[in-house]
Chains A and B, each alone.
Chain A
Amino acid sequence: MTRRLHRHVIRFALATYPRSYRAEYGPEMFDVLVESGRAVRLSTTIAEAISLAANGIGARAHGRHSTKAGVDGAAAALVGIAVLLFGIVANSFAALLADTYWTLHGSPGTPWVDPLWGTYVGWMAAVGALIAGWSRGMRLTAWFAVAWSLAALALGCWDALRRGGDPLSSLSGIHLIAAGVAFAALTHRTPAGVRAREHLLSSRLPTIVAGTWGAHVTVTALTHQPVSALWAATITALALTAAFVHWRSTLRGAVLVGTAFASLPLVRAFDLLGHLSANAVLRVGALMAVAILAGIAATTVIRIADRRSPNDWRRARAIAASVVVGWRGTPVVADSTAAPAA
């Protein structure tokens, strides 16, 4: 009877915590209290209950408590947007280098300086800081890139971008700002030191990038025409992000990746009258199947890496080495940081 009363007191004290916190930690805290014998004697039960109530009210007052799902979600979104930005910036960077080359070699075209150079460099640095797990650097470079884009917009530099001069109809500029603001805002929500670097990025960002570009190259080789890199990168990033926030989405991610890569050729397969040729049906079907397989491969690699401990830089290197020299079974790398639970 007394024991039941003590447990009721503890449960009552736990009720002071916010609902999401209770759902996350409540049963575990209750178990620890019972296991450690702190809910047996009246004096310790009351002392623990007062401590719980104080911390619970504090958690409500500050409204700052981390749930695994929330932090993981924010970190996953951060990585997804980083992949998207990396894709966009890498494409823009390549185009700029080509422009610079032709300008220097006296080809047609006037020498010009892209007003978004600072933005591109800023995003490259932000993604680098994310991979390095340097939180402050990530925040500074992300906000710098956003500020540079906004300054270019405000100063009317858009005309120099050869993108039509109207920023609202020029999605290539606006999406960079929108994605950039989202990325920069998320840097404050997600501690890069752990979630982004150790938990998410170490094994997954290289895999995502490899999966994205691998599928891109496959589809381009099959169709002999470039797929919309932006559209494909967007959906791929979303699909692969979904895969590692545990949405049981290997198949879902694969279908999304496949759809993304196959959708553009599908649209192009229609003629001006809206008719779809029989040949095009076969081609698009085969393309879809290959793209889905590419998606399954990419998401499966992520899930295999996911089952292992986050000490993955060495592990990722081992996996890469296995792929290069031929698969020789599951690479086993000693994990110096993970020790058996007490």
Chain B
Amino acid sequence: MTMRLQEPTFLVLTALADESRHGYAVLAEIEKITGTTKAMKVGTLYAALDRLARDGIVEVESEEVVSGRNRRTYRLTPVGREVLRAEAEKLDRLARQARNRLGGVAARGLAQ
């Protein structure tokens, strides 16, 4: 399955790749992955989750009531795993290309 993923979407999927998480845990995981705080706004996160749920890429695994409030736990679907795997491979390929070309430029620089 191929589809273009924007960075916030890719980050959300990556945060959910190893285990199911609720909204706050997804945000915390994204901060850990990117190494920056406030890497994603809450509005962006929920817009991404809503779009991904509509497309069948993530789904609500469970809903629990914590302190009288509903808290959903999200997880990747099998389709979502495929999408993330394809995107990760694509990015990996592109990164390898970039490294190779940078290496080539550096080698030419040394030769001169």
In the complex, the answer to whether B77 meets A342 with C-beta atoms within 8 Å is no
- A215 and B46 CA atoms in complex are apart in Å by 44
In the complex, the answer to whether A195 meets B56 with C-beta atoms within 8 Å is yes
In the complex, the answer to whether B20 meets A48 with C-beta atoms within 8 Å is no
- A74 and B15 CA atoms in complex are apart in Å by 29
In the complex, the answer to whether A51 meets B59 with C-beta atoms within 8 Å is no
In the complex, the answer to whether A28 meets B54 with C-beta atoms within 8 Å is no
In the complex, the answer to whether A25 meets B50 with C-beta atoms within 8 Å is yes
In the complex, the answer to whether A28 meets B47 with C-beta atoms within 8 Å is no
Asked if A271 lies at the interface with its beta carbon under 8 angstroms from chain B, I say no
Name A27's closest neighbour in chain B (CB-CB): B69
Asked if B42 lies at the interface with its beta carbon under 8 angstroms from chain A, I say yes
- A144 and B23 CA atoms in complex are apart in Å by 41
Inter-chain contacts of B28 with A (CB < 8 A): 36, 342
- A198 and B80 CA atoms in complex are apart in Å by 12
Name A26's closest neighbour in chain B (CB-CB): B46
Given A55-B43, A198-B77: A342 touches B29 (CB 8 Å cut-off): yes
Measured between C-beta atoms, what is the minimum distance from A195 to chain B in Å?
A: 7
Asked if A147 lies at the interface with its beta carbon under 8 angstroms from chain B, I say no
11 further A-B pairs in the complex, CB-CB below 8 A; given A36-B28, A36-B42, A342-B29: A29-B46, A31-B71, A35-B24, A47-B41, A65-B54, A66-B53, A135-B56, A191-B56, A192-B56, A338-B20, A341-B21
Inter-chain contacts of A195 with B (CB < 8 A): 56, 59
In the complex, the answer to whether B44 meets A191 with C-beta atoms within 8 Å is no
Residues 79-109 of B, flagged 1 when their CB comes within 8 A of A and 0 if not, give 1000000000000000000000000000000
Measured between C-beta atoms, what is the minimum distance from B95 to chain A in Å?
A: 28
Name A38's closest neighbour in chain B (CB-CB): B42
Measured between C-beta atoms, what is the minimum distance from A137 to chain B in Å?
A: 14
Interfacial residues of chain B within 38-62, with CB under 8 A of chain A in the complex: 38, 41-47, 50, 53-57, 59-62
Q: Which single member of B18, B41, B79 contacts A193 (CB below 8 Å)?
A: B79
Asked if A32 lies at the interface with its beta carbon under 8 angstroms from chain B, I say yes
Q: Which single member of B22, B47, B55 contacts A341 (CB below 8 Å)?
A: B22
In the complex, the answer to whether A54 meets B22 with C-beta atoms within 8 Å is no
Measured between C-beta atoms, what is the minimum distance from A178 to chain B in Å?
A: 27
Interfacial residues of chain A within 25-84, with CB under 8 A of chain B in the complex: 25, 27-29, 31-33, 35-36, 38, 44, 47-48, 51-56, 58-59, 64-66, 68, 71
